[in-house]
Structure 1
Amino acid sequence: MPSATDHQAFQERRDLVFLLLSGLFLGTMAMLNLLGLTRFLLLGSLGRWPLVVAVGALPYPLTFLCTDLISELWGERRAGQLVWVGFLLNGWIVLILWLGGVLPGTDGFGGGLGLPDPAATGDLPVFYELRRLTFGGVTASMVAYLAAQFTDVRLFHFWKRLTGGRALWLRNNGSTLISQLVDTSAVVLISHYGAHVLPVDPAAALPPQLLGFIASGYLFKLLVALADTVPFILLVGWLRPWLGIPEPGEEIAPQA
């Protein structure tokens, strides 16, 4: 029977781990929105399919590992709360970018006195270029984010209930691989049709280009998702006893 001292130590560890996972999740979401579509990376090819990934998507698969760990250890409710906090963070970033654009500045934009207007030369300050790209992809990002993260959390617990808390690999991959397809498809389609910020070739047929963006983005996320299966299982196996959760499938009860 754990003593009061043990309970306190476990609670401090639980708070620390939840803070670290939440910080990684929210920090990654901020990077995704700010870096977003500022650059597309060519990471190789698989046959005739080039592996083209937006720089903002590089850390994004980490968010699914974080929500899967929180789902496994703290339950569906806490994971859902974190998803909503991430959504509010998206809105906060958009608000600051909007304010930064409408308030007067020394660059001559927004009604400031400032320096000679760079718009006369056709150049935009770095902030406005970043703002344009962020605004262009933020609708796609927020819609895809909610759809994918809630799909991930719901499917994770569906597989957990179906297997009675067993088969960690199944709920980790079964939830992430489907939610990543939802996310990638939504981001590509909304980014193009809603914001027109994808680097498409107007002289070439559009459907194959969009399919290529979806396929290459999903392939990258699929490979990362499969690669995180072993770390997920090892982390769960290590964290359960360290956090005082002895039974497989058991979740941390909310504090009274």
Structure 2
Amino acid sequence: MSEFQLWERRERVFLVLAGIFLGAMTLLNVIGITRFIQLGPMALAVGVLPYPLTFLCTDLICELYGKARANFLVSVGLGLNFLILAVLYLGNAIPSVPPEAMPPWQIIQLSEPVPLPNGDIVENSIGLYQLIYATTSGAVFASMLAYIAAQYCDVQLFHFWKRVTKGKYLWVRNNFSTLMSQMVDSVMVITVTFGAAFLRDEITLKMMAVLVGSNYLFKATVALVDTGPFYLGVHYLRRYLHLGPNELAAPGARAQ
């Protein structure tokens, strides 16, 4: 294999991992709290389902490409969050077509007044986009704050544990970095998303604690389960990318 072919292979793997990371993060923001589901004892926002994949991807990138590439990907994700928020605000700010010109499926008729997450109360009907905007715009802002704290925390902790264990024990840096950063994420995203509703007495402290606990239980469970895929990914990708034990795939990167 030529040097160019090897470089191309390594960049393609990074692109796949980055694509999964950004796709899972975008799904969290797009579907967000539009639906809550019950998984055993856990009450979860449907947007949480793909989110643990982001930590697996950043851990693989940390291990195979180094800290700089992982931080770069997290920064790209932050920019994408801003783009999503800007598009949401733009779509809400531009005047809509007259109600009579709207397709019937864009207007939801209500049988009773419904309070929205942003504090508004809708009495008769609501546009589909207005409903999506009300349930996602606040959640996107909350997830941005949680994202900044949790993802950068995950990258820093991964390399901290790698230094502490002197590059040994993959499971230690994979699990301890993810478990700690997932706690940061769960607490921040719930408190910011539902903080205003709590102050308006629309949600109790117990309900918020249940949501935080359910979010963290799900994310922590997935984090422990993904130890196997993480080991397999590191093992096979190191062979596929022609990497030595402490070698990184990013050009010019040094093991940390």
What TM-score bracket applies, with the shorter chain setting the length? 0.7 to 0.9
1:54-110 deviation line (CA, Å, top 9, x unaligned): 0000000000000000011111111001111101101101111111112132244xx
1:53 aligns with 2:44: yes
Distance 1:171 1:107, change over 3 A: farther
- In 2: Cα distance, 1:63 partner to 1:90 partner: 14
- In 2: Cα distance, 1:104 partner to 1:189 partner: 32
Distance 1:251 1:183, change over 3 A: same
- In 1: Cα distance, 2:96 partner to 2:205 partner: 42
Residue identity over aligned pairs, in percent, reads 46
Checking the alignment, whether the CA contact within 8 Å between 2:179 and 2:220 is kept in structure 1 is: yes
Deviation at 1:250, TM superposition (A): 2.5
- In 2: Cα distance, 1:172 partner to 1:128 partner: 40
TM-score by length of 1: 0.86
Task: Please show how residues 204-223 of structure 1 align to structure 2 within 5 Å.
Answer: 206-223=204-221
Q: Secondary structure at the match of 1:52?
A: strand
1:165-184 deviation line (CA, Å, top 9, x unaligned): 11101000010000000000
Checking the alignment, whether the CA contact within 8 Å between 2:85 and 2:141 is kept in structure 1 is: no
Checking the alignment, whether the CA contact within 8 Å between 1:10 and 1:242 is kept in structure 2 is: no
Checking the alignment, whether the CA contact within 8 Å between 1:184 and 1:218 is kept in structure 2 is: yes
Q: Secondary structure at the match of 1:124?
A: strand
- In 2: Cα distance, 1:114 partner to 1:201 partner: 35
1:26-63 deviation line (CA, Å, top 9, x unaligned): 11111110100001111012xxxxx1110000000000
Tell me which stretches of 4 or more aligned residues in structure 1 moved more than 3 Å.
113-121
Distance 1:11 1:115, change over 3 A: closer
Give the aligned residue type for 2:222: V
Q: Secondary structure at the match of 2:83?
A: helix
Aligned residue among 9, 16, 22 for 2:5: 9
Distance 1:107 1:60, change over 3 A: farther
Deviation at 1:9, TM superposition (A): 2.5
Distance 1:25 1:107, change over 3 A: farther
Counterpart for residue 89 of structure 2: 98
Task: Please show how residues 127-166 of structure 1 align to structure 2 within 5 Å.
Answer: 127-166=129-168
TM-score by length of 2: 0.86
Aligned residue among 230, 240, 243 for 2:241: 243
Deviation at 1:208, TM superposition (A): 2.0
- In 2: Cα distance, 1:107 partner to 1:160 partner: 59
Aligned residue among 159, 171, 177 for 1:169: 171
- In 1: Cα distance, 2:232 partner to 2:98 partner: 52
Counterpart for residue 73 of structure 1: 64
Checking the alignment, whether the CA contact within 8 Å between 1:33 and 1:56 is kept in structure 2 is: yes
Deviation at 1:115, TM superposition (A): 5.2
Checking the alignment, whether the CA contact within 8 Å between 1:36 and 1:57 is kept in structure 2 is: yes
- In 1: Cα distance, 2:29 partner to 2:64 partner: 28
CA RMSD of aligned residues (A): 2.4
Deviation at 1:121, TM superposition (A): 6.9
Deviation at 1:13, TM superposition (A): 1.3
Aligned residues: 237
- In 2: Cα distance, 1:136 partner to 1:31 partner: 15
Distance 1:105 1:207, change over 3 A: closer
Q: Please, which runs of 5 or more residues in structure 2 have no aligned partner?
A: 110-121
Q: Please, which runs of 5 or more residues in structure 1 have no aligned partner?
A: 46-50
Counterpart for residue 192 of structure 1: 194
Counterpart for residue 48 of structure 1: none
Give the aligned residue type for 2:218: F
Give the aligned residue type for 1:10: L
Deviation at 1:8, TM superposition (A): 2.3
